[in-house]
Structure formats: structure tokens, C-alpha cells
Amino acid sequence: MITSLMREVEALAHASGVKLDADVVQKSLEFIDNAAPHIKASMQLDVEGGRRTELDSMVGAIGRKGGEAGIPTPIADFVFASLLPVELKARKGPSPA
């Protein structure tokens, strides 16, 4: 799924005239694979802390830009729709026990 999401971003970059290395997706995957196992993404830390995340600006933007460019972004759209309820719940804070 992450590879497909990266390919959507890559397609948007190309459509926007942004030049990327031919192996940008592969290098990004290698970076992720080599990251320390205890590292958490900033979005995960935000959710855990009950803070607003960058979901809209990082993932929602992919779908919006795809719509503008006529490029399908089904993975980004799915990820956004899947994570939005998590973010909304995190903003409300922990549920009382």
C-alpha cells in the first residue's frame, strides 16, 4: 500500500513538472526499512497526544491535487478516509474509563 501511495505522489509530481530521481520510491522505501524500529511517525505521536495531525495537509492534499490534475489517487483517498475518524477521535481526548 505504501508503495502504491508513493507512486500516486510520484505521478502527481511528474504531472506538475517536478523532477524526481527515477529511484525515489525505492530509496524512500529503503529509508523506511532502515529506520529504527522504535521510531514513531509524527502523525502517530499527534494522535497519541490528542493533537491535530497533518493528515489533511499531507494525505488529503494528494487527493485534492490528483482531482485537479485528473490523476486518480485511490490509495491516498482510502488512507485519508480511514485515518480521519482516528484523528477526530484523538482530538476529543481519551474516553473516560
What confidence tens digit (pLDDT) does each residue in 43-80 have?
Answer: 999 888 888 899 999 999 999 999 999 999 999 999 99
Measured distance CA(20)–CA(56) in Å, rounded: 23
Global pTM? 0.84
Of 28, 31, 33, which Cα lies nearest the Cα of 3?
28
Kindly report, residue by residue over 15-48, the tens digit of the pLDDT: 999 999 999 999 999 999 999 999 999 999 988 8
Measured distance CA(73)–CA(61) in Å, rounded: 10
Q: Quick one: which H or E segment has residue 15? A: helix 2-15
CATH code for the structural domain at 2-92? 1.10.1040.10
Distances (CA, A) of 94 to 13, 45, 62: 38, 14, 30
